[in-house]
Structure 1
Amino acid sequence: MIGKQTFDWRAALQQLADPRAWVSPRHKRFWLLVAVLAYTLAGFFLVPWIAQRQIVAAIEKNLGRPAQVEQVRFNPYALSAEVRGLRVSEPDGAPLFGFDRFYVDFQLSSLFHWAWTFREIRLEGASSDLIRYADGDTNIGRMIAAIPAAPATDEPAPEPEPEADGRRVRLVIQSLAMVDFNADIRDDSRTPAFATHVGPVSLEAHNLSTLPEQTGTHQIVIDTEDGGRLAWGGSLQLSPLQSSGHIAASGAYVTVLSRYLQDAVNFTAGESKTTLNLDYQVGSHADGGIAVSVDQLELVLQDLALRANGDDTPFLQLPQLRLAGGHFEWPGKVVRAESLTLSGLDLRASRNAQGTLSLAQLVKAKAPAESKQDTAAVAAVSSVTESEPAAPMADWTLQLGSASLQEGRLRFVDKVPKTPASVTVSKIALTAKSLSNAAGAKFPLSLGLTLDSGGSVKADGTFSVLPQPTLDASIKGSDLAVAVIQPYASEFARVRIDGGALGFETQVAMPSIDALAVEGNLSFAGLDVRDAADGKRLLAWRQLAVDHYAYRMADNAFDVSEVALSAPYARVQVNADQTTNVQQLLVKRAEPAAANKSGDKDSGASTAVTIGKISLSKGSADFADRSLPLPFATHITQLEGEVSTLSTTSRNPAKLRLNGQVNDYGVARIQGKLTPFDPTVDTDIRVLFRNIEFPDLSPYTVKFAGRRIDSGRLEVSLQYRIEGGALKGDNSVVISDLQLGEKLDQPDAMNLPLGLAIALLKDSDGKIQVDLPVRGNIDDPQFELGGVIRNAIVQLITGVVTSPFRFLGSLVGMDSEQFDQIAFEPGLSEVPPPALEQLSKLTEALQKRPNLALEVPGAFVAAPDRAALQAQRVTAQIESAIEALRAGKSREQSRTVLQRKVVEELFHARFPDDSLKDLQAGFRRPPPDDPQGKPQLDESAYVSELQGRLEQAEAISDADLEALATARAQAVVAALTQSGAIAAGRVQIKAVETAELDQRGWVVVKLGVIKAPAP
């Protein structure tokens, strides 16, 4: 029987209390104590010491950057580690990144969760300098590039081992925090360099876990310069991925962006404020896809002010931009928002004197190198897009409930006119609703605005964008002041617009981009245009009304129902210098280039224009002629009439009827028919003046014949018919009771025997009736009130004055348009034989007109005359040298050999640095009969080339050209006067001038006619 044994606790405790039991190596407890002490010492002292050095060594080895760590702590019992004072620098000592404290607390509970579990991970005082250099590289990029590459090996890389159970790493972080992170960002690739500061940045996350269905929370706050802040908070589940939360941001982000873009734009942004709020949800699908949705997105931009560089006044001010109710879905591809509102937008724009818009100057021009890079990039993108077409817009759903502009203002100053034009559009209200990218969707549109100069415009309608733009809208303008165009009108005429208001109602329909149709009505009231110098009225009307107009792009037609002009007025005056007030008012402008004129002609098919009727009522006009010895003025009133249908597509003539009163008792009447857009087809116009007091016309008779008219009455009936371009006129003049007045000394009056003419023409009733049939081309006759006889005389005199040499030629049977032209061969001053015959005929004509004299200019054309003189001089030098060689009894008498020798010597003297052998090499070629034979020198071509270069180098001065021109003039004078038929004083030499070439390339000397000097 075994007895019962009991444990003696007292003896055991006494044994443990015995120090010899702990210090004796023969006891296990000794080695347990040693292990505990070693673990403690290694954990608290050895591990931090090694870790501190290994961290520094690893960073410097792998990153190639100096590093330092102030302190490393490790608690082997709490399994926590702490690193303090980590700093990594650039090789030049500039800071790269670092932190004040990094703390990790690992939990032994990982053994129970089968997951890496951290009670706390905390980063404090982290900082980083992020730099983008001028060449586009970054300090981080350079640091990564410095990491040594893995050693090359022939063995294939091992495939990664799959995670246990096919799942990701199991990780639990109970608390993750980043406190007081700051980053300094600099971009040296911008000019000037951009710099900003981000921080402090804080992050707090709790219960982050990769374990299934474990949800944590996080909160991130990022502060930026100028008080900006972004706050991002919400929940986060990593397995499967699920996250939701809210993001709120506010700050002067536009200001920062403006500073960043200063090398690309010529404007800066003031201290605006941007606010962003949104709710989001992110989740993963079973197939691995990610779903993202954003709701309640609201973006507000306040107090935006953009200023052009060097200008204190903002060109754009926007008190508020608000985007509300934003929503985004992925992969549903949905983007929508409830509203986008711009409140109080104020935009200032201008155009400088060179025609460049100020807004176009807000973006800086790129350097050529950048432009080439952009071109290459565009080409690369184009090649990709051509091979891989982008997804159609139909893949996305884009919706915007309403877009509106409220209380907008546009101010535009145009400095192209000498007097800058200023237009201000205020109270702009623009709204578009139900916007989307749905095909065929139509969107309501409304617009309202007022012009500070006067008037308003309103528009309402609908438009669409896809599949093609369409528009259906009504537009109404009221009381639009025409004076706003004053600066532009002043560019063309010296006038002042004192009144005028435009109103219209228009309906615009565009079912497709090539089917525009516009119709409506228009009124133009109270126009008052005055002379800017004296303030007198020039043009006015009470009302111009268009009751209906329509334009149809499909038919390329513009139709006007009726144009009614009420109480129009015009003032026309002939000034003392025989110019008109209209000519005087017009501003001379540079003619457009001929290329532009020709290009305009081919601008496409002309628009068919039809005007149903033009009516005129209660019109008046004033006409004055102050160029006459006795100033003349008349007043026309009660002008009434109409013009029937005018059409560019019809050959049916329009009917014309106009009636008016001249002065107190006279009558003016115009009636008939005409084809206004092609009057040569069918025109029949009758102009009738009745009961016109002839004394009123004395100013014209004095100027024409130097005689007053004491009494008489005039009736004129002018009837013109044009058929197929041929003019037929059956005109008559009846003068009653004509009595001549005194004769006045009028230097320009013609000396006509009026007394005899009147005596022959006046009948027994005291009337003179003359029928004046006219035939000819409509562009030739110039009819005046004085009658056809005076016209014939005027036309004769005008023809003689304007074409004196044609008149002189007719005296001697010469019918030549070039009777005044003597042609010389370039470089020569000898009159050629054909010209001698022409000068002989001219001498004969001058004998018949002894009061005429000729002017002969010295003339030259620089290029051909210079080339001819160069050739003459070089040829003369060559001939002189050849003759000298022959005179010296040169052994070689062959002209060809002598010419080559002379030319080579002259060439060598002129061009000592040019090798004759090198020049000869270019003229060596095989004989014509033996293509494979030895190359021989083509002497003729060779010598010709040398001589040509000598000619080009020969200097011909302007004085040489002027001497040639003078010699030509002297030769002409000699040919005219050598016979003695005309005196030398009747042929005068003018100054030297440049001339033109004829078709043969000869220099043309043009003669002139003047009054012969008194003997």
Structure 2
Amino acid sequence: MKVPHIPSKIKIAIFIAGGLFGIYTALGFYLLPMLVKSKLPALIQQQTGRKASVATVRFDPFSLQLSLQGFALQEPDDRLFVGFDGFFIDINARQSISQAALVIDKVSLNKPVVRIAKGKDGTFNFKDLLKDSNEAEQDDGKVFPINIAKLSMTEGKLDWEDAHFSSPEKETAYPINLVIDNLTTQADKPSNLGLSLELNSGGKLDWQGAISLNPLSSSGHIKLEKVQLPRIRALALQDFVQLDLQGYELFEADYKAAYVNNQFNVNLNQGKFELHDFQVSQNSQDKPLVKMVRFAVQGIGFNLEKHELTVESVAANDADFKAWLNPDGVFSYQPLLPIAKAEEAPGEPVEKTSWSIKVNNIALNNCGLTFEDQTLKKPITITAKPINFQLTNFNNEAGASLPFQLSVGLNETGLIKLDGNTVIEPLSAQIAVDVKDVDLEKFQAYVDKFARLDVINGSLAIDGKLLVAKSAQDKLDIKFTGNTKIADLITRDQLKNKDFVKWENLALNGMDVDLPANQYSAETLIINKPYARVIIKQDKTVNFGDIMIADKNVEKGKQDATVKAAKNTQTDAQKPKFKLGKIQVIDGSSDFSDLSLILPFAAQIKSLDGGASNISSEQKSTIKVDLKGTAYDLAPVDVKGEISPYLGDYDVTVNFTGMPMPLISSYMVQFAGYKVEKGKMSLELNYKVANRELTASNNILIDQFELGEKVENPNAVSLPLELAVALMKDSEGKIKIHVPISGSLEDPKFSVSHILVDALVNSISKVITSPFRALASLIGSEEDLSTIDFAAGDAVLTKSQISKLGDLAKALKSRPVLKLEIKGAAYQEQDWPAVSDDALYDQLKRIKAAEVNKQGGRKIRAEHVVISDQDYRRLMEQLFAEKFPLMVEKSLLGTLRLVGSKADTSTDEFYAVAKQKLSAIIKPEEQRLKNLAAERAQAIANYIVQKGGIANERVFILDTAIDPAREGNGIVSLLSLKAD
């Protein structure tokens, strides 16, 4: 057989092709892997500044399969940054050519390791690998066509370190397994995705779904479970949540996500979120603030594009909440509140999109709350359990009605129920309120803050309807209608350990409260069997002052100023308006005692019934009062009338009948130092005030009044009480008094003793301080019989004073037990000028007697000297020239005359000046004035006895007085009365 001849050119081509094939084979299998292994680390280090290494490089130039083993990229400190055990890629050249795209049959990464670390300054360990923004390549927007049949990662590991928190944290995710089938950059070609990972601290992620790169989108199911809450806080929330969290979570949902046209949208369906064994504490050593076995949110639906959130149910069972105020007043939940951030600088307003939120059912079952107030001296604990809450069809759409029910057990005995509907926007609520059996004793520590009072018993109940709405001015409009009651209240004085205030039942019915309008009304306030213990202490203060504890942190002056300023700035519209139809007191009582008296006094007041009606803040309102009771179980008391508090008008009648006066003996001792031996008192008071004018008809009748023994009391008024009784008693032994009485009649039962004694004391004081006025009234006279007037320097009774003494004598005859005392008086300033002429005349007589006695012969006394007119003028000239030499001079004829005047001894003017000057230099003589006073007293006594017919033994002249105290400038002698 003949072998065909092969042309030399073909041989050459075959040889060249074979050579190229050999070279390609050599390059692919040997040279390229060797170059990659030797040059890749150096190239990486050149580009990144980091050391890199590759253990093995394999490349099949015919199948285009590349594998790398043992790759490692180090950090500047030589720690591993990125590494893997093996990397494999299988490129399908034929398909790549036919599809005009990079087609890869398989990409696998085995045991990759990545270490990501965040430093204290917040920078990451790969910061140096990132390109500068100015050097970044421009993206033309075109997507390079890539098809990967299968992309997988097995046993991946991620090490996370975060040192920028105050407490550095580490976490490892291992293993990480990822499988993606048919990954492509072609449009609308989804790929199947499967991702799972586990955290070393506990927790798993399972992600199954589909993913598309062009456009970027994904759908499927994601599940994250048993992630420990302490790790979530430590790794992500240290700077935001300063709390200790315990428990683990579960979250899973079907989802759809897409990023199209620079818009990101996420849809969730059938979502579920759960917290298990959940606890929140301020730190790991503290008791938990919140404990929940399970908190579940079921049926979560979420649409970011439409801004919709729907939830089938939110439930928590057997949750336990603990809260407290620490001694500094810091609330235990304050750390839960978000940390306030600094306000951002003003800029373009951010448009906020409203969300639609719907929750079909919210339920809290058998939950509990324990609250402790540590700010109190004795910390108080309030328990609320069980708490059951049900809210259905929650919807934040405007006008949506949300029905709810809340039931809270309070301190074991109490129960609070709220049942109603609420609307979120605009905010409104209609709630039926029912509060029962709230034990007031449990709140004793709050009472201790302002009163020294023990609450021994008492329970609070409230029922009604509460309306809440937000007004157009963005203010809350709160209204309440209903009733409230406090039953079986007993309070005890901590100082005396005795009952202080108590009642069997207090009910405020028909309440209508409108807070925005500041209006408050009720139909009736009924108090059944009220009791109060009232004590007046030795210092005159009332025991209520001891009970109340003053606020040491508030200066009274500042407080009063603040209150006054607030009142001044309060407009009529801001003032509260109130109305109470009726107050009814049933079988009231009180223990009253007065320890300020020398003889302590105590009495029981019982059987107080009645009340008041039409109580209102209206300026023209009139309160009707009707009260009946008994004082000392003996004396009936009746109070009736009408009061207009804002107009200041009153028409009130108070009657006491047959009050035994020895029962108020203690007050008489305190006032006058006497006990009351005998007597009964009846009192009728009628007050009428109209247009601020008071007209009172107040009558007191005291029958058979007798003073008892005297009691030493240094504080008693030093007045002659016997005199008052003698002046006031009539022939039948009765004392009738008509006097105005001041005092509060709002609650006469509790001040009855003071009202009666004040009336008596005021009347007695009036009689004692003005006995002659009282004496004059017996004869129908209004004259002041306590003084008798005289002319200056004179002791002669005038006609008017004789008439006054006649009236006095007539009155004294009607009160034979009275005695009259007369105190003659003289007044230097007024009487001495009138009697100084007599003193001058006596001085001239003494000069004349001296002249006579000097001549020899029989001696003569001055009082027996008789001075002629000639001697009077001569002696006056002589004495005037001697005492006032500069005021006289001699005339040409040798006679005396006044200097600078023509008046000489021949004129009356000279002697008038001389007499005036000489009288002025004579010092007042006390004895001459006393003699004048004595003459006046004797003139009064003579008339009373001789003309008035009063027995001499009933009239007494007292020692005279010079310039005694008096009213006005009258020249009077003083009279006084005494009683046997």
TM-score if structure 2 supplies the norm length?
0.71
Question: What is the rounded CA distance, in whole Å, between the counterparts of 1:582 and 1:290 in structure 2?
Answer: 71
| Separation of aligned partners in 1, 2:146 and 2:240 | 47
1:569 aligned onto 2:531:
yes
Which residue in 1 is equivalent to 2:326? 352
Partner secondary structure for residue 697 of structure 1: helix
**Partner SS, residue 628 of structure 1:** coil
Looking at structure 2, the residues matched to 776 and 657 of structure 1 have their Cα atoms a distance apart, in angstroms, of 18
User: Is this contact kept in 2: 1:209–1:238, CA < 8 A?
Assistant: yes
Structure 1 segment 81-230 matched on structure 2, within 5 A: 81-110=66-95, 111-144=97-130, 149=135, 160=140, 168-211=143-186, 214-230=189-205
**1:453–1:484: 8 Å Cα contact kept in structure 2?**
no
Residue 489 of structure 1 corresponds to 447
Tell me: CA distance 1:684–1:411, structure 2 relative to 1, closer, same or farther (3 Å).
same
Question: Is the counterpart of residue 279 in structure 1 residue 245 in structure 2?
Answer: no
Q: Is the Cα contact below 8 Å between 1:434 and 1:444 reproduced in 2?
A: yes
Question: Is 1:692 matched up with 2:659?
Answer: yes
Stretch deviating more after TM superposition (128-137 or 566-575): 128-137
Q: Give the CA deviation at 1:533.
A: 4.0
2:270 alignment partner in structure 1 = 296
| Paired letter, 1:475 | V
- Separation of aligned partners in 1, 2:23 and 2:514: 101
CA contact (8 A) 2:243 2:335 kept: no
Match of 2:638 among 660, 669, 675: 669
Matching of residue 584 in structure 1 with residue 546 in structure 2:
yes
1:786 counterpart = 2:744 = no
Structure 1 residues 397 and 364: alpha-carbon distance in aligned structure 2, compared to 1, 3 A threshold: closer
Q: 1:600-639 residue pairs with structure 2 within 5 A?
A: 600-601=566-567, 602=569, 605-639=574-608
Give the deviation of 1:282 after TM superposition. 4.3
1:853 maps to what in 2? none
Inter-partner Cα distance in structure 2 for 1:250 and 1:772: 92
Deviation of 1:421 after TM superposition, in Å, equals: 2.2
Shift of 1:729: 4.0
Note if 1:67 corresponds to 2:32: no
Contact 1:726 1:778 in 2 (8 A): no
Contact 2:204 2:227 survives alignment (8 Å): no
Q: Verify: 1:471 aligned to 2:429, yes or no.
A: yes
Q: Deviations over 1:30-76 (max 9, x none)?
A: 54443333222221221112223443233223323332223322222
Contact 1:305 1:316 in 2 (8 A): yes
Q: Which residue identity is paired with 2:667? A: Y
Q: Deviations over 1:344-377 (max 9, x none)?
A: 3322111123322222245697xxxxx8xx42xx
Offset of residue 616 of structure 1: 0.9
Report matched runs for 1:324-335 at 5 Å. Answer: 324-335=298-309
Partner of 1:977: none
Deviation at 1:640, TM superposition (A): 0.2
Identity of aligned residues (%): 26
Q: Distance in 1 between matches of 2:138 and 2:229?
A: 50
Q: Gaps (5+ residues) in structure 1?
A: 1-6, 151-156, 366-370, 798-1015
Deviation at 1:159, TM superposition (A): 8.8
Displacement of 1:794: 9.1
Name the SS of the counterpart of 1:583 in structure 2.
helix
Whole-angstrom distance in 1 between the partners of 2:128 and 2:188: 41
Distance in structure 2 (CA, Å) of the matches to 1:688 and 1:170: 112
Match of 2:804 in 1: none
**In the TM superposition, what is the alpha-carbon distance from 1:146 to its structure 2 partner?**
7.0
- Return the alpha-carbon distance in structure 2 between the equivalents of residues 84 and 701 of structure 1: 118
Instruction: Report Cα offsets for 1:604-655 as digits up to 9, x if no partner.
Output: 6022101011111111111112232222111111110120111102413201
Q: Contact conserved, 1:733 with 1:787, CA < 8 A, in 2? A: no
CA distance in 1, matches of 2:603, 2:222: 84
Please tell me whether residue 379 in structure 1 is matched to residue 344 in structure 2.
Answer: yes
- CA deviations on 1:223-270 (whole Å, 9 max, x unpaired) are 124211110012335567664321111123432232243344432112
**1:278 shift after superposition:** 0.7
Aligned counterparts of 1:51 and 1:793: Cα–Cα separation in 2: 129
Partner of 1:399: 358
Measure how far apart 1:795 and its partner are: 12
Check if 1:764 corresponds to 2:721.
no
Matches of 2:365 and 2:150, distance apart in 1: 50
Residue aligning to 1:747: 714
Structure 1 pair 409/599, CA: closer, same or farther in 2 (3 Å)? Answer: farther
CA contact (8 A) 1:623 1:633 kept: yes
What residue in structure 2 maps to residue 51 of structure 1? 36
SS in 2 for 1:699: helix
Aligned residue identity for 1:105: D
Give the letter aligned to residue 106 of structure 2: E
Distance 1:792 1:76 in 2: 135
**Counterpart position of 1:525:** 487
Q: Which range moves more in the overlay, 762-771 or 71-80?
A: 71-80
| Structure 2: gaps (5+ residues) | 769-980
Alpha-carbon distance between aligned partners in 1 of 2:565 and 2:317, rounded to the nearest angstrom: 45
Distance 1:358 1:207 in 2: 55
- Maintained 8 Å contact 1:411/1:422: yes
Residue 786 of structure 1 aligns to a residue whose secondary structure is helix
Task: Work out the CA distance in 1 between the residues paired with 2:156 and 2:677.
Answer: 110
What is the TM-score when the length of structure 1 is the normalising length? 0.69
Instruction: Say whether 1:434 aligns with 2:434.
Output: no
Q: Distance in 1 between matches of 2:674 and 2:186?
A: 123
Q: What is residue 863 of structure 2 aligned with on the other side?
A: none
Amino acid at match of 1:379: E
> Offset of 1:476 from its aligned partner?
0.9
Partner of 1:867: none
Q: Decide which moves more: 787-796 or 577-586.
A: 787-796
Q: Specify whether residues 51 and 487 from structure 1 end up closer, same or farther in structure 2 by C-alpha distance, changes over 3 A only.
A: same
Provide the secondary structure at the position in 1 that maps to 2:201. Answer: helix
Q: Which amino acid aligns with 2:64?
A: L
| Contact 1:726–1:776 (CA under 8 A) maintained in structure 2 | no
Does 2:687 correspond to 1:720?
yes
Q: Tell which structure's C-alpha radius of gyration is larger.
A: 2
In 2, Cα distance between equivalents of 1:496 and 1:291: 64
- Which residue in 1 is equivalent to 2:219? 244
> In structure 2, what is the equivalent of residue 234 of structure 1?
209
Is the partner of 1:683 in helix, strand or coil? strand
- The 1:194/1:364 distance shift into structure 2, 3 A limit, reads farther
Q: Give the whole-Å Cα distance in 2 for the aligned partners of 1:510 and 1:745.
A: 67
Residue number among 279, 290, 296 corresponding to 1:322 in the alignment? 296
The alignment's C-alpha RMSD in Å is: 3.5
Partners of 2:106 and 2:281 in 1: CA distance: 50
Q: Indicate if the aligned counterparts of 1:545 and 1:565 stay in contact, CA closer than 8 A.
A: yes
Structure 1 residues 211 and 363: alpha-carbon distance in aligned structure 2, compared to 1, 3 A threshold: closer
User: Partners of 2:283 and 2:157 in 1: how far apart?
Assistant: 32
Q: Given the superposition, is the C-alpha separation of residues 268 and 775 from structure 1 closer, same or farther in structure 2, using an over 3 Å criterion?
A: closer
Correspondence for 1:737: 704
Question: Which whole-Å CA distance do the structure 2 matches of 1:783 and 1:510 have between them?
Answer: 49
- Alignment partner of 2:449: what SS? helix
Give the distance between the partners of 2:99 and 2:144, measured in 1 at CA: 12
**Structure 1 stretch 426-435 or stretch 743-752: which is displaced more?**
743-752
Distance 1:243 1:784 in 2: 93
Cα distance in 1, alignment partners of residues 114 and 625 from structure 2: 89
Decide whether aligned partners of structure 1 residues 26 and 517 sit closer, same or farther in structure 2, where only a CA change above 3 A counts.
Answer: closer
Per the alignment, do residues 118 and 255 of structure 1 end up closer, same or farther by CA in structure 2, a change over 3 Å counting?
same
Does 2:459 match 1:501?
yes
Structure-2 change in CA distance of 1:794 and 1:47 (3 Å)? farther
Paired letter, 1:628: L
Change (3 A) 1:568 1:773: closer
Task: Tell me how far apart the structure 1 counterparts of residues 521 and 60 of structure 2 sit (CA, whole Å).
Answer: 97
Distance in 2, Cα, partners of 1:545 & 1:528 = 15
Name the CA shift for 1:174/1:792 in 2 (closer, same or farther; >3 Å): farther
Pair 722,589 (structure 1): closer, same or farther in 2 beyond 3 Å? farther
Answer with 169-178 or 643-652: which moved more. Answer: 169-178
Q: Secondary structure at the match of 1:516?
A: strand
Q: Is the 8 A contact 1:728 1:774 kept in 2?
A: no
